[in-house]
Amino acid sequence: MAELVFFSGTMDCGKSTLALQMHHNHAARGRDGILYTQHDRAGAATISSRLGLVRTAYEVGPSTDFWAEVIEGRTHGRPVDYLICDEAQFYGAEQVEQLARVVDELGVDVFAFGITTDFRARLFPGSARFVELADRVEVLQVRALCWCGSRATHNARTVDGAMVVEGAQVVVGDVTSNAGDVAYEVLCRRHHMRRMTAAAARAAAPSPQTLATAGDATLDV
């Protein structure tokens, strides 16, 4: 029986890697699938993994109608057994509903991959609708880590290395940046609420010289 499954997790937990692996496994068994993505950091119409895996995919836009596209494919003789939907947090709520309809009425498996919350720790509309409609929500088992070593549960946006909590919900970036670039970092809840990124933690840490001075002062007392 077909399913709508939403695989969620923070950045850096292997969502795109799993999406491409799942596509490989199903295709190897003779199933026909279509890959979709939106706003991938490597560019349009691409699913890319930080491990170096890259595949061409269809770019999802505001006018994308999944129901119509599957019907079109089948009308022209394509089986369309499953859909791989990466960066699914960016999809519109109506598009998520189209995917649910594709599962229920056409028997197509839909495997969606995305982060749940944005840099402000607010739900993406697409992710919220997936949570509401999915047959299963799977939290990826590969744990991304905060700079402190705790499990990372939140995504932080940085500009010039400083964490920001205001701005457009969707701004494409990666986990590395140059000066002036928008970048992202995964943090535990504690450090996200404190706005304490790795760079901020390094800046606040005592330098070796400061530690040595403090030690000398203690000895002199």
Average pLDDT, the chain: 88
Q: How far is CA 171 from CA 163, 168, 181, 182, 184, in A?
A: 14, 7, 11, 8, 10
Residues 23, 29, 33, 35, Cα dihedral to 10°: 10
Contact 57, 35 (CB under 8 A): yes
Q: Strand 182-187's sheet: what is its strand order?
A: 162-164, 154-159, 182-187
Task: Flag whether pLDDT at 221 surpasses 50.
Answer: no
Q: How far is CA 183 from CA 77, 113, 155, 170, in A?
A: 43, 20, 10, 12
Contact 139, 114 (CB under 8 A): no
pLDDT-derived band at 179 (thresholds 50, 70, 90) equals: very low
pLDDT at 173: 59
pLDDT-derived band at 208 (thresholds 50, 70, 90) equals: low
Question: Annotated catalytic sites, by residue?
Answer: 87
Contact 47, 113 (CB under 8 A): no
Give pLDDT tens digits for 7-49: 998 887 789 999 999 999 999 999 999 999 998 877 889 998 8
User: What is the arithmetic mean of pLDDT over 140-157?
Assistant: 87
pLDDT at 28: 98
Give pLDDT tens digits for 73-117: 999 999 999 999 999 999 999 999 999 999 999 999 999 999 999
Query: Of 16-20, 151-155, 211-215, which range is least confident?
Result: 211-215
User: What is the arithmetic mean of pLDDT over 127-147?
Assistant: 92
Contact 53, 86 (CB under 8 A): no
Task: Flag whether pLDDT at 178 surpasses 80.
Answer: no
pLDDT at 160: 82
pLDDT at 217: 45
Task: Flag whether pLDDT at 220 surpasses 50.
Answer: no
